[in-house]
Chain A
Amino acid sequence: MQEPKTGMSFVTKRTTVLFALGGSLLLGMIVAASIGAMPISPLSMLQGDLSAGHQAVLATIRLPRVVLTVLVGAALAVSGAAMQGLFRNPLADPGLIGISSGAALAVAVVIVVAGPASGVFGLYGLSIAAFAGGMITCMVIFRIARISSKAASVAYMLLAGIAINALAGAATGFLTFVSDDQQLRTLTFWTMGSLGQALWPLIAVVASVVIPAVILLICNARQLNIMLLGEQEAQHLGVNSERLKKLIVVCTALSVGAAVAASGIIAFVGLIVPHLIRLAIGPDHRILLPASALAGAVLLLAADTVARTIVAPAEMPVGIVTSLIGGPFFLWFFVRQSNQMETA
């Protein structure tokens, strides 16, 4: 199938796509905020005509959760798209260079070795550990990639990431093995992801990390396109690929670290969203990155709304839902796309 793109300029296409996704995101946020144990009519929400009880639910429970979900969804999807571009591999995702597994190991250490803590660390301890774990992993990978050659080559980063993944997985496995039942339950739930931690102070911290990182990635989208020609070709075209690689890895590590810290490990968003966007509108990162951010937020909002309502009053881990919705949808889209390719 050949898209008749000649009639539509790049700017028109980008505006259309981003407006459509932005619109669905707004709609999704309103719907997600209205659904729950205490339904709030979207109409009265928009008119500002709410009872005190509704206002309290909205301000302290629904809105923080919606905002956190949007931030985490956008962070994961943009990071996935940027990683796939950097590694020139459509199967890459932020987990690939070990950031998530480093975070998971740090969380396991805190749960199993440090045990329950009180005060600020009790509330945010796992988040702090996850973020630190992610950052340390990122630094280790840079170091290892630099030992083998003067410049941090993408291939060595990938190999280092695979080794770190295995190592962190083994260490987490050992901690799981020695944990007691309560610790095991906490750990298991954390690795399946949940957005139930939404409190405004946490959101402020996540936002202050994720928003600048995502904007920085989007600003470098054109250079990232050029990197897909090859590192040396990019240099010949005036792109400082060393600087760009560092920037991308640091930005994705920061935003994934923050996302994982706030919500545990939510699988699939970083892998599937960029794919869907790429299949629909092409690989140009100038559209792909912002569109992935919006689509990631929409997908995670939908998944989280399902997760917290389907087995109410209990809550299902959102990571299960993302995989359950995402997997079949992705397969359907992929099969449809390849059918169209063949008939064209």
Chain B
Amino acid sequence: MIVAQDLVVEIGGKTIINRICLQLARGTVTAIVGPNGSGKSVLMRCLAGSQPVASGRVELDGKPLAAYSLAQLACKRAVLTQFFPVGFPFTALEIVMMGRNPYANSCCVAHNEHIALQALAAVDAVHLQQRIFPTLSGGEQQRVQLARVLAQLWEQNGACLFLDEPTSALDIKHQHQFLEDVRQLAANRNFAVCMIVHDLMLVMRYADRVALLKNGSLVAWGKTAAVIDPDAIEYVFEVPAGLVLPAKRF
């Protein structure tokens, strides 16, 4: 379980995250939702341990994140960021194999490669394995990177998975396929999943809990059905709720 208490982040003198308390429980999928620039990615980086905080603390299983070594953390949590600036002609399989880096000394190459291929299969991308990564389309690149993150936690139980807009470039079929996989990971392997997703339909379908952010503050935090409510959505996104929520809710 990841517990964040009174997180404050300041970047360039501006408060980006303002006193946020949050828990990511194992076995649940938590979605961070909010408008552009509301601090979603920064909050996720805090929870993943890659963002220095001005005050407050983040603990994983009762120990502060800083108390873990990079190698220990790499076996307990994986992070998918939004951009993939890979300029060198690695193949897709080589990229996914990088996800096995934390296990390079403990598992043999054949075993790691086997896992990498399974991870590619999980995102429906086995056929891309020998393609050159920078030449893939945006959606294909995203699937390969998703496979890398899955490969990193492949044989782990109770790990944490952080996904920053994992479905932004995927077609509809792969969006649902991937998020269904993620939900299975949470249910069957007791993962704590934390993802940033803009599509509220996907959030309502796949997230157990929602953290609603506006201007760096937590507006609401709790079970999806309770948080995604027309008034809160209108307040946070400044659009009529009817535009973004399914009609049957009204």
B-binding residues in A (CB < 8 A): 2-6, 10-11, 85, 88-90, 222-223, 225-226, 228-230, 232-233, 235-240, 278, 282-284
Contact = CB atoms under 8 A, between A and B. Distances in A.
B109 A283 contact: no
A238 B75 CA distance: 8
B interface, over-half SS: mixed
Nearest to A241: B70
Given A228-B88, A229-B98, A233-B81, 11 more contacts: A3-B130, A5-B91, A5-B130, A225-B90, A228-B86, A233-B79, A236-B74, A236-B78, A238-B71, A238-B102, A278-B88
B168 interface: no
Given A5-B91, A222-B101, A10 B70 contact: no
* Minimum-distance CB pairs A-B, first 9: A238-B74, A283-B88, A238-B71, A236-B79, A238-B102, A237-B101, A238-B70, A226-B101, A226-B98
A88 B70 contact: no
A284 B78 contact: no
B11 to A, nearest CB: 12
Contacts of A3: 130
15 contacts: A5-B91, A11-B109, A85-B88, A88-B85, A88-B87, A226-B98, A226-B101, A228-B90, A229-B86, A232-B50, A233-B81, A236-B48, A282-B90, A283-B88, A283-B90
A223 B70 CA distance: 13
Contacts of B130: 2-6
Contacts of B74: 236-238
A238 B101 CA distance: 8
B70 A240 contact: yes
B70 A229 contact: no
Contacts of A283: 88-90
A90 B50 contact: no
B8 interface: no
Nearest to A88: B87
Contact of B50 (A4, A89, A236): A236
A180 B75 CA distance: 64
Contacts of B77: 236
Contact of A232 (B81, B86, B109, B131): B81
Interface residues of B, number: 31
A335 B226 CA distance: 61
Contacts of A225: 90, 94, 98
B90 A237 contact: no
B99 interface: yes
B73 interface: yes
Contacts of A232: 50, 79, 81
A230 B152 CA distance: 16
A283 B109 CA distance: 18
Nearest to A9: B109
Contacts of B81: 230, 232-233
A190 B50 CA distance: 47
A282 B109 contact: no
Contacts of B152: 237
Which residue among A90, A228, A232, A233 has the maximum number of chain B CB atoms within 10 Å of its CB? A233
A225 B98 CA distance: 8
Contacts of A284: 90, 94
Nearest to A282: B89
A57 to B, nearest CB: 45
B101 A10 contact: no
A342 to B, nearest CB: 13
Interface in B169-220: none
A284 B86 CA distance: 13
Which residue among B83, B84, B101 has the maximum number of chain A CB atoms within 10 Å of its CB? B101
Given A226-B101, A237-B102, A90 B87 contact: yes
Contacts of A226: 98, 101
B95 interface: yes
Given A236-B78, A237-B152, A240-B70, A90 B98 contact: no
Given A237-B74, A238-B73, A278 B87 contact: no
B104 interface: yes
